[in-house]
Amino acid sequence: MWLSSLKNLVRSLAVLLVVTFATFSLMFGNAPGIAKAVLGLAATPEAVQGKVVELGLDRPLLVQYWSWATHAIQGDLGRSFYTGEPVSDALASRVPVTLALIVIALLLTAVLSVILGVTAAVRGGSVDRALQFVSVLGTAVPAFIVAIALVLVLAIRWPVFPATGYVSPDASLSGWAASLVLPVTALLIGSVASAAQQFRSAVLDTLGRDYVRTLRARGIDERYVVFRHVLRNSAAPGLTVLSLTMLGLLGGAVFIEQVFALPGMGQLANASAQINDVPMVMGTVLVTIVIVLVVNFLGDLAITIANPKARAR
């Protein structure tokens, strides 16, 4: 178990190194283009060259990356090319918004998908067919379309929740919860539709095993069989589904934050990319990669713990 966890950790660090270097190369590879974007299209070649030197973009790419990486390890992600604001400070106020959005959506997805998936697999019939229909519909409709529909119905037609904006939990806990209801729901519909279908398949596969048929033949209560044995042995594929769902929620949050004007990482990355604020974009990419790798590592660790064969190693 510990050897497997160590291998996953080393693999995650290697992926972090490769992805950050590749992203850094793509972002910082065109030094004159970056300088011209900062100065404006009317900048003279002399001004552009001076800006390149000022920003340190005239150094070899490997030297630039080493300098950036060593500072990043210490928490210094550089400063915005436009505002001069430290990237770490900008992210410190944005990351909690995005994490609140996706963590709440993930927890609700885990609960609802298990309930729906198990119910559909055990009962079958019309319940199963209804889940199939809802899963196809929820997966086919993009999250931003769902978000717009929610705004039209629950914020404009019936003003139950705010259409846009974000309230800090420090200012008002109830206001914070109200500002997240529609964004979380927009993310939740698609993620539950997909995850519930996967849980259903995992539970159906487990229900077809010989030991389950033996337990049923012995007259053991169905609820005990399902909750004590079937769910436990469906945990590994279920955890895999949830870790993949987390990645999907991260991608969906970029669009949802735009629709609801949430000051999260997605909105910051989009605004920074439009003005070519490279350090800010690089900072959001780094944090996103770290979140993805942490989720994958914890997911693999949870699967290893849930799998008796893995624990035995």
State residue 14's pLDDT score. 87
Least confident of 81-95, 162-176, 238-252, 278-292: 238-252
State residue 75's pLDDT score. 86
State residue 207's pLDDT score. 80
State residue 1's pLDDT score. 60
Share of the chain above pLDDT 90, in %: 11
| Residue 214 forms part of a structural domain | yes
| Residue 135 forms part of a structural domain | yes
**Statement: the pTM of the whole predicted model exceeds 0.85:** no
**Residue-number span of the structural domain to which 150 is assigned:** 91-312
Q: How many CB atoms lie within 10 A of CB 22?
A: 10
| Residue 292 forms part of a structural domain | yes
| Residue 238 forms part of a structural domain | yes
State residue 44's pLDDT score. 83
Answer yes or no: do 133 and 265 share one domain.
yes
The 10s digit of each residue's pLDDT in 228-264 is: 777 777 777 777 777 778 888 888 888 898 889 899 8
Answer yes or no: do 155 and 262 share one domain.
yes
- Structure confidence at residue 52 as a pLDDT band (50, 70, 90): confident
| Residue 86 forms part of a structural domain | no
State residue 226's pLDDT score. 79
| Residue 239 forms part of a structural domain | yes
Q: Per-residue pLDDT for 169 more than 80?
A: yes
| The dihedral sign for the CA sequence 195, 197, 198, 199 | positive
State residue 2's pLDDT score. 66
Answer yes or no: do 134 and 281 share one domain.
yes
Q: What is the average per-residue pLDDT within 140-158?
A: 88
Helix (H, G, I), strand (E, B) or coil at 245: helix
CATH code of 149's domain: 1.10.3720.10
State residue 176's pLDDT score. 93
E-only strand ranges, the chain: none
Share of the chain above pLDDT 70, in %: 96
Answer yes or no: do 68 and 95 share one domain.
no
Q: What is the average per-residue pLDDT within 9-14?
A: 83
* 42-50: long-range pairs with CB below 8 Å, 24+: none
φ and ψ at 79, to 5 degrees? -125, 155
State residue 311's pLDDT score. 52
Answer yes or no: do 20 and 158 share one domain.
no
Q: Are the CB atoms for 291 and 251 separated by under 8 Å?
A: no
- Structure confidence at residue 302 as a pLDDT band (50, 70, 90): confident
Q: What is the DSSP letter of 152?
A: I
Q: Per-residue pLDDT for 223 more than 70?
A: yes
Answer yes or no: do 272 and 143 share one domain.
yes
Mean pLDDT of the chain: 83
Q: Per-residue pLDDT for 310 more than 70?
A: no
Q: In degrees, to the nearest 5, what angle opens at C-alpha 95 toward C-alphas 89 and 96?
A: 110
Q: What is the average per-residue pLDDT within 257-283?
A: 86
| The dihedral sign for the CA sequence 223, 211, 203, 297 | positive
Q: Per-residue pLDDT for 275 more than 70?
A: yes
Total domains in the chain come to 2
Answer yes or no: do 282 and 170 share one domain.
yes
Cα 22 to Cα 24: distance, rounded to the nearest angstrom: 5
State residue 213's pLDDT score. 82
| Residue 23 forms part of a structural domain | yes
Residues in Cβ contact with 75 at an 8 Å cutoff, skipping those fewer than 6 apart: 88
Please indicate whether residue 308 or residue 286 has the higher confidence score (pLDDT). Answer: 286
Answer yes or no: do 198 and 125 share one domain.
yes
Q: Which of 46, 73, 100 is the last residue of a domain?
A: 73
Query: Which of 1-10, 33-42, 135-144, 271-280 is predicted most confidently?
Result: 271-280
Q: Which of 23, 41, 73 is the last residue of a domain?
A: 73
Q: Per-residue pLDDT for 139 more than 80?
A: no
